[in-house]
Structure 1
Amino acid sequence: MSKIAFILLTHKDPEAVIRQAETLTSTGDFVSIHFDARAKAADFARIERALAGNPSVTFARRRRKCGWGEWSLVDATLEAVKAAAGAFPLATHFYMLSGDCMQIKTAEFAHRFLDAEDVDYIESFDFFASDWIKTGIREERLHYRHFFNERTQKKWFYRSLDWQQRLGLSRPVPPGLRVMIGSQWWCLRRETIERVLAFCHDRPDVMRFFRTTWIPDETFFQTIVRHVTPDAQIRTRTLTFLMFTDYGLPVTFYNDHYDLLLSQNYLFARKISPDATVMKERLFDLWAQTGVGFRISNEGRALFHFLTGRGRIGRRFAPRFWETESSLGRDRTLMVLVCKKWHVAKRLVAQIRSETAIPAVEYLFSEDSAMPDLGGIERTVAKRNRHRRALLRMLFDYFDSDRLLICVDPADFELLRDFTGDRAVTRVLEIECDFDDAYLIGHARRIGLAAENTPDDVVRPLLTTIRYDLKFESDRMVDADFPMFARMSQHADAARNAAALARFLGVDTEVARRVLSLDYLFAD
């Protein structure tokens, strides 16, 4: 069975370091600690005294003064790795952690996970070909020497870079080296660690090169592992769950994220807030438990992007406005029925078909609904959206009618704007429905925001945001001031709904009443 040597890089909170080391070693694993030399000597002494009697804990022989983005972080990691490799000959895996990381699975689960495949886990993407770097300098990280810290010596950092560029002092990557990049939170097998250390000894030119690169903790191990381990034995992923904001800052997790973290397909998570004391206690206790089952739904990143992407009235990255094709026809009438609850709209369409001669097609731009053969343009949803106006013109011709009714989800606002801008007469009718918690949870699963096995406790805190999102979709239709817009409501009286429907369909009120005679129209 696997035994893990945790490489713990930390610089604060000695009590938390002691607790984490005691917890991780309580199940037969090991811990090698590098405590930043910039930290208080008294704090390090406190850690040494508390863990002196624990044979499963060792310390880096030399402590480094670490700075973000500097070689010192890699140097500190190598010191802790060397100490672990020498002190723990039974360790089969070496797992990189920081003081902000915490376990989100049991030791039993972690060992079983590592035993399942004889591979290394490390993000390693091609430095020059991938888009892993989102902001800041790119090639300059490697091709120029960095002697100053961009965070603490910004002026000198960029002045040095500018001078080197002016003087043409760029340097090549060492021969035979393909530079890779990825997260610094890895888990490597013992044989890989031994090959990495041997590589470091045999290639002093590579060591010199990385010592003056910028943010080498994202490139050093990621590069060398690819050179000493076959690609088939590498899983290009981290086992530590982490996310970043739009500004490149790590997302911090708090007490109410406990269930969310446990449902992710990872062994550890960072970064855990120091104030999340309740969750930290629960996670400490979790590690030694046995027989715990985990429902892995892995929706964490989707939830985060959903939450941070909502609430912005001028939403960024809106869908492209579709190219303007030929008009649907000045003498034609397009009726767009908009409803979030598709089953409600489909019931109403069935009634419309039975009481009128208006041809109708349900949600043709959202699902593979049955459609007549139109020469192939109708075969996929993507193709329908790409040629939307051409598709509707063909449907008008197919039904030999100057009227056509279609159903659209309110999320497809660009469709509405496109059609209401056409020379044809376009009428829009929104069906306003109630959304209880059960429906919203189901909606989150249908759109991929949560998996089928995501616990309700994970999804439930999002319901307010989802409910607001649906209201936003409804409100922007009103704000768009479409030429002909009407609304039916689940709570409106029959007379008002009949009047709105009659106006939308262009029929008399009696016909509209017969259409609405279905007593279970709004039932879920």
Structure 2
Amino acid sequence: MARIAFILLCHKDPEAIISQAERLTAAGDYMSIHFDARANPDHFRQIKEALQDNPNVTFARKRIKCGWGEWSLVQATLNAIDAALVAFPSATHFYMLSGDCMAIKSAQYSHDFLDDNDRDFIESFDFFDSDWIKTGMKEGRLIYRHFFNERTQPKRYYGALNLQKKLGLEREIPQDLQIQIGSQWWCLRRRTIEWIMDFTRARKDVMRFFRTTWIPDETFFQTLVRHIVPEEEIESRTLTFLMFSDYGMPVTFYNDHYDLLLSQDFLFARKISPEARELKARLGALYAAEGVEFKISNEGRSLYKFLTGRGRIGRRFGMRFWETESSLGRERELLIVVCKKWHVAKRLLEQIRKATDIPAIEYLFNEESTPLPDLGGIQKTIGKRHRHRRALMRMLFDYYSTDRLIICLDPGALDLLQDFCGDRSTTKLLEVEVEFSDDFLVGHATRIGLAGEQTPPETLERLLPTIRHDMAFETDRIRDANFANHHRIRESGRTEENASEVAQFLAISEDKAQEIVGIDYLFAD
């Protein structure tokens, strides 16, 4: 059976560290602790005294002062690993943790998972070809030597860096290494750890190189694992659930995140708020529990993105540069059907095609698979369609040799509605007001990744009001925009009322409009 040696780097909150060590070792696992030599010495004494009689806890023999972005973090990790290898010969896996991490599965589940998955879990993406680094310096992390800390000694850091650039003091990367990058929260098998430690003793040139790279905790283990372990034995992901905000800050979890955390396909989570005492207590009890079944839905990241993105949707303050010189044409008429239930809008368009000769295209800005003619590549992806929206629409008018064209849009596409309604062409909207059952909302949440088949009912109960409110919010934004030529049909409306609106929207007779809206399955789910 798997037995885990946790490698814990920490620098504060001794009570939490003691609790974490006691909790994890009580299930038969081990822990090797490196407490930052820069931190409060009284805190370290407190930790050592509390854990000195625990045979499953050891400490790094040499403590060093750690700094963000420095080699010191990697050296501290190696020191803790070295102590764990000696103290815990029965450990099968080594798992990197911080003091802010907590288990979100039971020890039984974690051990079974590792027994069933004989591989190393570590994020490792090609340093140069991947987009893992979003902003800031990239190649310069490696080819220049970094002797100072950017945060604590910015003048010296940038002075040394600029001097190297001026003098052309670039260095070569060790030729036999393909530099990788990824999260520092890994879980590696004992054999892999032993290979890494042997490598560090044999390859002094590689050690000298990494000691002066910037943020080596994101590259050192990631590169070495790829170098010494067969690719098929590596899964390029972390087993620690963590998220980052749009500003690059770690997302913190609180008491009401318990169910969400348990449903993620991870063994630990970071970061748990120090104030989340109830969450910590529940997760602490969970690790020692037996026979717990976990329903994995894995919707955490998409749900976070959905909830945090509400306040920024549609906030544009000017036209894109590619739109300033373009227009669909003053003589043209664009007819837009706006509906959240795409299948309802598609049925409506099918009826319109039967009753009129107006070309009608479904959700071309929402669905990649929408059938479109070959327009030279501009139509190939959703991204291109959005970037060149007016050019695309002009080409479609020309392709169909028409001055009238119908398209469908999701109510969430307010920026598209504003663009098209602000054009010199005539734009008409037909908003299709539909009703949303709980079953439909659950299906919608599954389709867009907010929930999965295994999402607990309690999570769905909290999620459904948010989704329903979000759909109402989209409708309110459209109403608040006060678009001209705005027509509306309702699922709850009488056929005569809906036909009148459709007749005005399409400029057809009410008899033809009756044929279009008169089908009894128009609004059916």
Q: Does the alignment pair 1:208 with 2:198?
A: no
Question: Structure 1 residues 320 and 228, CA, compared in 2 at 3 Å: closer, same or farther?
Answer: farther
Counterpart of 2:25 in structure 1 is 25
Counterpart of 2:183 in structure 1 is 183
Counterpart of 1:80 in structure 2 is 80
Counterpart of 2:155 in structure 1 is 155
Q: Does the alignment pair 1:445 with 2:449?
A: no
Identity %: 60
Contact 1:105 1:262 in 2 (8 A): yes
What amino acid is aligned across from residue 164 of structure 1 in structure 2?
Q
What amino acid is aligned across from residue 150 of structure 2 in structure 1?
E
Counterpart of 1:255 in structure 2 is 255
CA distance in 1, matches of 2:173, 2:276: 43
1:311 aligned counterpart, secondary structure? helix
CA distance in 1, matches of 2:423, 2:41: 73
Q: Does the alignment pair 1:60 with 2:60?
A: yes
Q: How far 1:40 sits from its partner (Å)?
A: 2.1
Counterpart of 1:16 in structure 2 is 16
Of residues 8-17 and 139-148 in structure 1, the stretch that sits farther from structure 2 once superposed is 139-148
What amino acid is aligned across from residue 103 of structure 1 in structure 2?
A
CA distance in 1, matches of 2:78, 2:318: 45
CA distance in 1, matches of 2:220, 2:345: 57
Counterpart of 2:222 in structure 1 is 222
Question: Structure 1 residues 495 and 180, CA, compared in 2 at 3 Å: closer, same or farther?
Answer: same
CA distance in 2, matches of 1:467, 1:142: 49
Q: Does the alignment pair 1:305 with 2:305?
A: yes
Contact 2:123 2:182 in 1 (8 A): yes
Counterpart of 1:292 in structure 2 is 292
Counterpart of 1:363 in structure 2 is 362
Question: Structure 1 residues 316 and 23, CA, compared in 2 at 3 Å: closer, same or farther?
Answer: farther
Contact 2:94 2:190 in 1 (8 A): yes
What amino acid is aligned across from residue 25 of structure 2 in structure 1?
T
CA distance in 2, matches of 1:495, 1:244: 52
Contact 1:142 1:214 in 2 (8 A): yes
Q: Does the alignment pair 1:502 with 2:524?
A: no
Contact 2:37 2:66 in 1 (8 A): yes
Instruction: Please list every run of 5 or more consecutive structure 1 residues that lacks an aligned counterpart in the other structure.
Output: none
Q: How far 1:190 sits from its partner (Å)?
A: 0.8
Relative to the length of structure 1, the TM-score reads: 0.85
CA distance in 2, matches of 1:94, 1:483: 64
CA distance in 1, matches of 2:499, 2:28: 72
Q: How far 1:285 sits from its partner (Å)?
A: 0.8
CA distance in 2, matches of 1:127, 1:404: 47
Instruction: Please list every run of 5 or more consecutive structure 2 residues that lacks an aligned counterpart in the other structure.
Output: none
Counterpart of 1:34 in structure 2 is 34
Relative to the length of structure 2, the TM-score reads: 0.85
2:97 aligned counterpart, secondary structure? strand
What amino acid is aligned across from residue 213 of structure 1 in structure 2?
T
Of residues 169-178 and 502-511 in structure 1, the stretch that sits farther from structure 2 once superposed is 502-511
Question: Structure 1 residues 316 and 418, CA, compared in 2 at 3 Å: closer, same or farther?
Answer: closer
Contact 2:146 2:161 in 1 (8 A): yes
Q: How far 1:103 sits from its partner (Å)?
A: 0.6
Counterpart of 2:486 in structure 1 is 485
Q: How far 1:97 sits from its partner (Å)?
A: 0.4
Contact 2:239 2:267 in 1 (8 A): yes
Contact 1:333 1:403 in 2 (8 A): yes
What amino acid is aligned across from residue 455 of structure 1 in structure 2?
P
Q: How far 1:392 sits from its partner (Å)?
A: 6.4
Contact 1:367 1:381 in 2 (8 A): no
CA distance in 1, matches of 2:104, 2:232: 27
Contact 1:441 1:456 in 2 (8 A): no
Question: Structure 1 residues 132 and 403, CA, compared in 2 at 3 Å: closer, same or farther?
Answer: closer
CA distance in 2, matches of 1:339, 1:173: 55
Q: How far 1:186 sits from its partner (Å)?
A: 0.8
Q: How far 1:118 sits from its partner (Å)?
A: 2.1
Contact 1:364 1:381 in 2 (8 A): no
Query: What is the Cα-based RMSD across aligned positions, in Å?
Result: 3.8
Question: Structure 1 residues 505 and 227, CA, compared in 2 at 3 Å: closer, same or farther?
Answer: closer
What amino acid is aligned across from residue 101 of structure 2 in structure 1?
C
Q: Does the alignment pair 1:49 with 2:52?
A: no
CA distance in 1, matches of 2:317, 2:34: 43
CA distance in 2, matches of 1:317, 1:80: 52
What do residues 214-268 of structure 1 show as CA deviations (whole Å, max 9, x unaligned)?
1111111112222222222211111111111222221111111111111111111
CA distance in 2, matches of 1:213, 1:275: 36
Counterpart of 1:243 in structure 2 is 243
Contact 2:363 2:410 in 1 (8 A): no
Contact 1:432 1:490 in 2 (8 A): yes
Contact 1:396 1:403 in 2 (8 A): no
2:429 aligned counterpart, secondary structure? strand
1:376-395 paired onto structure 2 within 5 Å: none
Of residues 382-391 and 214-223 in structure 1, the stretch that sits farther from structure 2 once superposed is 382-391
